[in-house]
């Protein structure tokens, strides 16, 4: 796992390096948090989820309790089809897990100020690089899955699934029912799929 976490960091860093020239034009400012409240699903792989889970377990007890409560609320709201802000967004509108935030949060930025009417605007080149990075993440997490953050953390909370995953084994039957009902995808099936082209309005 240690080596996989190191490789995960390498993938994040390569993406940050390659996309830095495009981000110079970004309209994002500290405290905006539009992407953490209004931009839909926050996907991660099981490997990214495990890094976040380990981080939660190192938090003080009181914070762990409040984070777990927020994750459960997020799950319930999303299962009911209601909008839900990220459980890791603090009252200060800062990210509680910024250093280990998943790739879904690292790839997003916007060339204009966002609003409900104006979702984030990302350049085509960054979208293409992000599609390649997602494949690399799914390749790295070959015995894992991808899906919304709180769903992946919920899966990792199941001792049997966690033991299977940590052992590097692949038993999709263990998560079949939950996966189907919660839009979880199997990484090894997705990594070879052809990515969809960027939308026509991308710059
Ligand atoms: S993990 Fe952090 S950066 Fe990502 S959506 Fe949540 S609060 Fe925002």
The residue whose CA has the least distance to atom 8 of ligand 1 is 36
The answer to whether position 180 is within a domain reads yes
The residue whose CA has the least distance to atom 2 of ligand 1 is 95
Task: Give yes or no for residue 42 CB within 6 A of ligand 1.
Answer: yes
The answer to whether position 75 is within a domain reads yes
Task: Give yes or no for residue 39 CB within 6 A of ligand 1.
Answer: no
**Best of 101, 104, 114 to mutate for ligand 1, by most ligand atoms within 8 A of CB?**
101
Task: Give yes or no for residue 86 CB within 6 A of ligand 1.
Answer: yes
**Parent domain of 89:** 2-190
So what's the pLDDT on residue 201? 46
Which of the four pLDDT bands, split at 50, 70 and 90, describes residue 39? low
So what's the pLDDT on residue 193? 65
Task: Give yes or no for residue 88 CB within 6 A of ligand 1.
Answer: yes
pLDDT at 128 over 70: yes
- What pTM value is reported for the model? 0.90
Quick: pLDDT tens for 50-109. Answer: 999 999 999 999 999 999 999 999 999 999 999 899 999 999 999 999 999 999 999 988
pLDDT at 43 over 80: yes
* CA proximity to 37, closest of 73, 101, 84, 98: 84
The answer to whether position 196 is within a domain reads no
Which residues on neighbouring strands pair with residue 145, listed in sequence order?
186
The answer to whether position 64 is within a domain reads yes
The answer to whether position 53 is within a domain reads yes
The answer to whether position 61 is within a domain reads yes
pLDDT at 200 over 50: no
Rounded mean pLDDT of 138-151?
Answer: 96
| CA 61 to the chain's CA centroid | 24
So what's the pLDDT on residue 195? 55
The answer to whether position 158 is within a domain reads yes
Domain count, the chain: 1
Report how far residue 45's alpha carbon sits from residue 153's, in angstroms, rounded to the nearest whole number.
Answer: 10
Task: Give yes or no for residue 89 CB within 6 A of ligand 1.
Answer: yes
- Most confident range (mean pLDDT) of 7-11, 80-84, 92-96, 188-192 is 7-11
For the beta sheet containing 43-45, the strands, ordered from the edge strand earlier in sequence to the opposite edge, are 43-45, 145-148, 185-186
Report how far residue 15's alpha carbon sits from residue 36's, in angstroms, rounded to the nearest whole number.
Answer: 20
N- to C-terminal Cα separation, the chain: 38
The answer to whether position 108 is within a domain reads yes
Are 150 and 74 contacting, i.e. CB atoms less than 8 angstroms apart? Answer: yes
């Amino acid at each position: 796992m240690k080596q996989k976490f190191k490789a995960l960091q390498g993938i994040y860093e390569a993406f940050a390096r390659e996309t830095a020239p495009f981000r110079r034009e970004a309209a994002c400012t500290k405290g905006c948090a539009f992407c953490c409240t209004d931009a839909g699903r926050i996907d991660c792989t099981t490997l990214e989820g495990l890094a976040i889970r380990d981080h939660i377990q190192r938090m003080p007890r009181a914070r762990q309790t409040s984070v777990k409560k927020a994750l459960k609320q997020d799950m319930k709201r999303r299962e009911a089809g209601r909008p839900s802000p990220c459980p890791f967004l603090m009252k200060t509108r800062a990210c509680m897990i910024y250093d280990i935030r998943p790739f879904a949060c690292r790839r997003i930025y916007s060339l204009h100020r966002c609003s409900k009417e104006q979702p984030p605007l990302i350049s085509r080149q960054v979208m293409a690089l992000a599609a390649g990075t997602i494949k690399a993440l799914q390749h790295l997490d070959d015995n894992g899955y991808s899906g919304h953050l709180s769903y992946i953390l919920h899966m990792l909370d199941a001792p049997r699934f966690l033991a299977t995953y940590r052992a590097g084994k692949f038993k999709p039957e263990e998560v079949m029912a939950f996966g189907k009902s919660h839009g979880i995808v199997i990484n090894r099936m997705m990594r070879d799929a052809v990515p969809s082209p960027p939308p026509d309005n991308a710059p």
